[in-house]
Amino acid sequence: MSHERVQFEEQKYHVSNHTRLDSTLISFLIRKDIAKNKQQAIYILLGIIIVAVILTFFVLRSSKPHFTPVHQEQPPPGWTP
């Protein structure tokens, strides 16, 4: 039995770190000089999301319907103010 080395052709996959979010929001913040780099842009977007969640919480909490009784007492018959 011969001891030949078997070689396999391996397919190399290139995974891009460039996503749709990178090409839109993050690059927008960097182009407008709001953020200096990708990391800072991510922190800014995270801050915007946190502020939006907090504002949504307060808006929903303050817009609760006030309690109005369904049954209102009627004055006794014959009573006039």
Question: Chunked in runs of 10, what are the mean pLDDT values of the chain (81 residues)?
Answer: 72 61 82 94 95 93 70 76 69
Predicted TM-score (pTM) of the model is 0.52
Domain ranges of the chain: 20-60
The CA distance from 47 to 72, in Å, is 48
| Sign of the alpha-carbon dihedral angle for 14, 19, 23, 28 | negative
